[in-house]
Structure 1
Amino acid sequence: MYKVFINDKPIIVTSSSKKENNFPVYLFKDIAFDEIVYKLQNENIKGINLYSVDLENDWNSFLKNLKVVPAAGGLVLNDEKEVLFIYRNNIWDLPKGRIEKGETIETAAIREVEEECGICNVSIEKKLLITYHIYFQNGIRLKETHWFLMISDFKGDLKPQLEEGITDVVFKNEHQTKEALQNTYANIKLVYDTYKDF
């Protein structure tokens, strides 16, 4: 199954015939990409299921409609198991950013976390998942973000990367994290849920 968000509304590309939500179901082979985007932007629906008989093939065909922008980031825990959040555009988020040319996914993830948060001593524990969201900038783009569970024993002052629009960086305990998740993106909830499932 692949889940792609447009403005926090999911397009679920799946080979499972089991209905797990109340979204309309379309056969992948019968729907045009532009039609899906239009429906999610203009109709009062909360998501779409696309049923596929050949998931990998159909997913590759879905990607052909988009310019894929690879990114990487982390859900970072400190010694108290608090989660590192950034605050940008009045929304709580996790640190992430584009992968630069010649960079590995892991190197990019650590670099972005360190740059956006003013933190060091960050190391990767394991890969969590890949999230996808569509945005519009010189056409339709798909941000493919590789997420890692990270740890850091950093004890200094966190410094938000102001030039990236980040106005606050903070470690949050479980209660504060649950509050922050009320004001975040669907993909970030997915990252946190995946971490909790581990």
Structure 2
Amino acid sequence: MHTIYVGDKPIYLTTKVDKETDFKVFLLKSVDLAKVIRMLNRTNLQAVYLVGKKEEKLLKQFLKKLPNVIAGGGKVYNDEGKVLFIYRNDKWDLPKGKVEGKESIEETSIREVEEETGVDGLKITKALQTTYHIFKRRGRYRIKITYWFEMKTNYSGELIPQEKEGITKVKWLGKKKIKKAMTNSYANIKLLV
């Protein structure tokens, strides 16, 4: 099963579904995705299941339904084991952004963390899960596919929020503060944290 978020409400891609209660079921092949997105945004519906025939083809089929935006991001740890967070659009988030030119997804992830936070000396330690969410830009829905990487750094300098990207704070957060921050974050970020 794959999960794509519309705000904090999930669209699940699956091959089978139990009886409907607080969610709706549509056939992936023929679904009107714009209608589903509006339904999730404007009603108290909690989730939508899109059903397809073959598990291995679900995501590929879904990604063809809207333009894709490829992004990379980082869950960065410092020497104290704290995680680097940004505060943007009144929510706690992890630094991420779109691929530029011919850079690799790893290069994108490191560049975006550096640009959004001022932190450098980043080393990727492992790949994390990929997340998917739907957003609207210039009147059109798009799917953001974000490839995440765990990173480490021994950077101890000033944290500089990239204000032109709407980032108002950059902070290293320990376990207790992360737990509090997750009460005001995105579903995709909660998955990673």
Normalising by structure 2, report the TM-score: 0.91
User: How big is the shift at 1:25?
Assistant: 3.4
Answer yes or no: is the 8 Å Cα contact 2:72–2:99 preserved in 1: yes
Q: Aligned runs of 1:73-84 on 2, under 5 Å? A: 73-84=73-84
In the alignment, the residues of structure 2 paired with residue 57 and residue 38 of structure 1 have an alpha-carbon distance, to the nearest angstrom, of 25
Q: Which residue of 1 aligns with 2:121?
A: 121
User: How big is the shift at 1:30?
Assistant: 5.3
Answer yes or no: is the 8 Å Cα contact 2:17–2:49 preserved in 1: no
In the alignment, the residues of structure 2 paired with residue 136 and residue 91 of structure 1 have an alpha-carbon distance, to the nearest angstrom, of 18
Q: Aligned runs of 1:5-44 on 2, under 5 Å? A: 5-15=5-15, 17=17, 23-29=23-29, 31-44=31-44
- 1:70 maps to a residue whose letter is I
Q: Which residue of 2 aligns with 1:64?
A: 64
User: How big is the shift at 1:38?
Assistant: 2.7
Q: Which runs of 5+ in 1 are unaligned?
A: 193-198
Q: Which residue of 1 aligns with 2:2?
A: 2
In the alignment, the residues of structure 2 paired with residue 191 and residue 18 of structure 1 have an alpha-carbon distance, to the nearest angstrom, of 27
User: How big is the shift at 1:22?
Assistant: 5.1
Q: After superposing the two structures, state which structure 1 stretch, 129-138 or 41-50, moved more.
A: 41-50
Q: Which residue of 2 aligns with 1:143?
A: 144
Could you list the structure 1 runs, at least 4 aligned residues long, displaced by more than 4 angstroms after superposition.
16-19
2:91 matches 1:91: yes
2:56 matches 1:46: no
Answer yes or no: is the 8 Å Cα contact 1:14–1:52 preserved in 2: yes
* 1:4-56 Cα shifts (integer Å, max 9, x gaps): 1111111010235568x953333434533233223212222111122322133
User: How big is the shift at 1:145?
Assistant: 0.5
- 1:135 maps to a residue whose letter is F
Answer yes or no: is the 8 Å Cα contact 1:33–1:62 preserved in 2: no
In the alignment, the residues of structure 1 paired with residue 153 and residue 71 of structure 2 have an alpha-carbon distance, to the nearest angstrom, of 21
RMSD: 1.8
Between the aligned residues of both structures, percent identity stands at: 43
Q: Match of 2:146, SS? A: strand
* 1:146-181 Cα shifts (integer Å, max 9, x gaps): 001111111111111111111111100000000001
